[in-house]
Structure 1
Amino acid sequence: MNKTVLSLATLIGLSATGGAFAQALDFNSLDANADGVISMEELQVAIPDLTAESFAMLDTDTDGSLSAEEFAALMPATEAPANTMEAPMTDAPMEAPAAQ
């Protein structure tokens, strides 16, 4: 079971740097019939080695498909849109504006 999770994490991690493969892991692109969920068959287009057991682990609500939320949980944090990322935290204290 852990091997399956590791394999999926590796495949998805590769998608972050894989060019065309990364585009294949876009939720809307994978949802071929535009029903708002991704079936195992639709996900197998991008991940041909996906097994029923692996898909079941991803399908946390056990409805037989991946919702946008379930799919988003698979994507690395670096895939977040730029407009939702916060400024990096630093250890330096914030300086008060200079008095004029």
Structure 2
Amino acid sequence: MMEKRRWRASQGGMEPGKVHKLTVNLEFGGVRVERFTFEDFQALVDSAIGRVLGTSAPTYAVCSFDGHAMRGALLADGADLHILWAALSVYGMHFEQPMAFHLYSVHKQRQIE
């Protein structure tokens, strides 16, 4: 009988069923954008994921944004991080301005009991 495969961190994947935080840096065509807010970041992420994945996008939540560092984060199931990152990484224009998301970090979130 085949043994059921179990997730291991050494396999390089994200743990399915666990919430992970994906943190990204944001860059706009090599220029500094002033007054970019949490709401702007949330709209940008929603636009990128919606445009690339449409209605097949997995559930996620934008949880933070630092306008000074141009760094934001979203929360999602570990099994969905790859598809969300793929959508963000191919989205290259926003309001006719070149932009890019750069991967900063991925962390498993602790469960609140």
Taking structure 1 as the reference length, the TM-score comes to 0.25
Q: More helix per residue: 1 or 2?
A: 1
Taking structure 2 as the reference length, the TM-score comes to 0.23
Q: More strand per residue: 1 or 2?
A: 2
Greater RCO (Cα-Cα under 8 Å, separation 6 or more): 2
